[in-house]
Structure 1
Amino acid sequence: MERYPVRMTDVLITIRPATIDDVPLIRQLIAELADYEKLAHAAVATDDDLRAQLFGAHPAAEVLIGEVDGEPAGFALFFHNFSTFLGKRGLYLEDLYVRPAFRGAGLGRHLMAALARIAVQRDCGRFEWSVLDWNQPAIDFYRRLGATGMDEWTVQRLEGAALHALAARDEL
């Protein structure tokens, strides 16, 4: 993956791939995002979890770190999915977060552009993500980038006891 340094007026924005040494930073940024989304109770990932899942033998996701003047200012965590209709993989953005002190400097736009470049370079058919319906500033930001809402779709989830109950059904 490439580095994407961009000079914005008085600040230098750098987008770089995360390394294993960034795990504590990634966990901290996840905690900050969870707090912003009023989901701090759900952010239970540990450094060991992230180290294994992001940098282990079979990484489940990738992370870009955004820096402003060398200071860690945000991140994007993404992975590939697959579209049976397109017959191509897609890029799915799980988390995008810019620390409040750095908002408005263009970091979010540069992270999204870096992800779009990755999607194009990897011949992805789509670049998708979800946004909380109450997060109007994020929705407005995504619309300015050209994203369209998939209003006819709703996210479904199985977790915890419901996930385990379904997995136990119809055992042989």
Structure 2
Amino acid sequence: MIRTATPADVPVIHALIRELAAYEKAPHEARATPEQLHEALFGERPAAYAHIAEDDATGEAVGFALWFLNFSTWRGVHGIYLEDLFVRPAARGAGHGKALLGELARICVTRGYQRLEWSVLNWNTPAMEFYASLGARPQDEWTVYRLTDESLERLGSSA
């Protein structure tokens, strides 16, 4: 079962983010607090949205998708950028990841959004194979760039 996250889900979303960070070999980089997540997801002006995958038999949260809107100047409409998709290892293979992506695709179609995009680590072959099985294709013409920490502060301070 896939459902929209509620404020009561913030602790489990936080836990799943920590599990994802550990899986991606970067637990030290996951610094978001439950309070920050609550504000981002349920504050006065939500910046992001989340869906929870639950085990049908137990109702336990076994995965999540956290996303936000982007905008294509070429298409003139919003799209969804999937920031995080994670299913606990014990629950993989049961369709939760596909169901989460299916829900985001449904939202795109319903709202007239024309893109559903995300990034995947180059070493994460199982994820790439899963995405390819759904018809997703890598965008190899583009390279993602990122400013963080000291570089971001340095550039921001010089402006």
Do they superpose with TM above 0.5?
A: yes
- Aligned residue number for residue 35 of structure 1: 22
Q: Of residues 57, 70, 78 in structure 2, which corresponds to 1:81? A: 70
SS of residue matched to 1:25: helix
SS of residue matched to 2:78: strand
- 1:54-97 Cα offsets, whole Å, 9 max, x none, are 11001110000000121111000010000001111111100000
How many aligned positions are there?
157
Are residue 56 (structure 1) and residue 43 (structure 2) matched? yes
**Alpha-carbon distance between aligned partners in 2 of 1:97 and 1:83, rounded to the nearest angstrom:** 26
Q: Which amino acid aligns with 1:52?
A: E
Identity %: 55
Are residue 65 (structure 1) and residue 52 (structure 2) matched? yes
Are residue 112 (structure 1) and residue 101 (structure 2) matched? yes
- Aligned residue number for residue 10 of structure 1: none
Q: What TM-score do you get using the length of structure 1 for normalisation?
A: 0.90
Q: Which amino acid aligns with 2:32?
A: A
**Alpha-carbon distance between aligned partners in 2 of 1:167 and 1:34, rounded to the nearest angstrom:** 27
SS of residue matched to 2:105: helix
- Which ranges of structure 1 fall in alignment gaps of 5 or more residues? 1-13
Instruction: Mark the structure with the bigger radius of gyration.
Output: 1
**Alpha-carbon distance between aligned partners in 2 of 1:122 and 1:33, rounded to the nearest angstrom:** 29
- Aligned residue number for residue 124 of structure 1: 113
Structure 1 residue ranges (4+ consecutive) displaced by more than 2 angstroms after TM superposition:
none
**Alpha-carbon distance between aligned partners in 2 of 1:116 and 1:139, rounded to the nearest angstrom:** 18
- Which ranges of structure 2 fall in alignment gaps of 5 or more residues? none
1:90-169 matches, cutoff 5 A:
90-169=79-158
